[in-house]
Amino acid sequence: MDYKELLAFKKGFELAMNIFYVSKNFPKEERYSLTDQIRRSSRSVCASIAESYRKRIYPAHFKSKLSDADMENSETSVWLDFAHACEYLSDETYFELTQKSNEVGKLINYMIFNPSKFGVSSK
């Protein structure tokens, strides 16, 4: 299996792309702060999942990189909170993106606690 087939990766990628599109409407003065930060952290979720999958022959590295993905997903959630509080996101969009972020977090944690299901050896 390729990392791109992992459900956590697919859902994370979808979330990052949704954030990319909605953040196009953020004010220009947010370009180098909120817009850059939320795009970066949401994309880093996928990058860390890909890295973890490539490190699956080393169980500790697999979990460490997934922990990084979870951290980036949490950061993305905080930026969503700020974007909503600043009224850059409607209640509906905020709720939808937050739900997707929560789902990605659950999938990442499932991988962390069930590494053998992802080809990680328990040697």
pLDDT at residue 123, as a whole number: 60
What percentage of the chain reaches a pLDDT higher than 90? 94
Domain positions in the chain: 14-113
**Candidates 3.40.50.1370, 3.40.50.2300, 1.20.1440.60, 3.90.1150.10; correct CATH number of 14-113?**
1.20.1440.60
CA-based nearest residue to 41, from 21, 18, 69: 69
- Per-residue pLDDT reduced to its tens digit, 93-110: 999 999 999 999 999 999
CA distance 4 to 99: 21
CA distance 36 to 20: 10
Q: Which residue ranges of the chain lie beneath pLDDT 50? A: none
Burial class (CB in 10 A: 0-12, 13-18, 19+), 71: middle
- Per-residue pLDDT reduced to its tens digit, 23-32: 999 999 999 8
